[in-house]
């Protein structure tokens, strides 16, 4: 990892928080990779997701407050 990146991380987390921060970042990236694999598999079998499907997934994951349609 580039030393300037480590320095920035340490300034945000302190030495003791660095490992936990990196662990959470890796955990998040693995989850995002898993979601990307699910979407790719679905799209390979069924074609591209529609905007309605994407919005339905957003509502399921994050609730109505994070969608434009939920604000109405």
CA dist 17 and 27 (Å) reads 15
Q: Convert the pLDDT of each residue in 21-44 to its tens digit.
A: 999 999 999 999 999 999 999 999
pTM greater than 0.75? no
CA quadruple 36, 42, 45, 48: dihedral sign:
negative
Q: Convert the pLDDT of each residue in 47-71 to its tens digit.
A: 999 999 999 989 998 998 655 544 4
- Only one residue has tokens 């919005």, namely 55
Residue 22 exposed, middle or buried by CB count within 10 Å (0-12, 13-18, 19+): middle
pLDDT at 72 over 50: no
């Amino acid at each position: 990892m580039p030393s300037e990146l480590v320095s920035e991380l340490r300034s945000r987390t302190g030495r003791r928080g660095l490992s936990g921060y990196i662990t959470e970042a890796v955990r998040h990236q693995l989850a995002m990779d898993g979601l990307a694999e699910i979407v790719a598999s679905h799209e390979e079998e069924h074609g591209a997701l529609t905007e309605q499907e994407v919005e339905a997934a957003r509502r399921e994951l994050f609730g109505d407050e994070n969608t434009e349609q939920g604000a109405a």
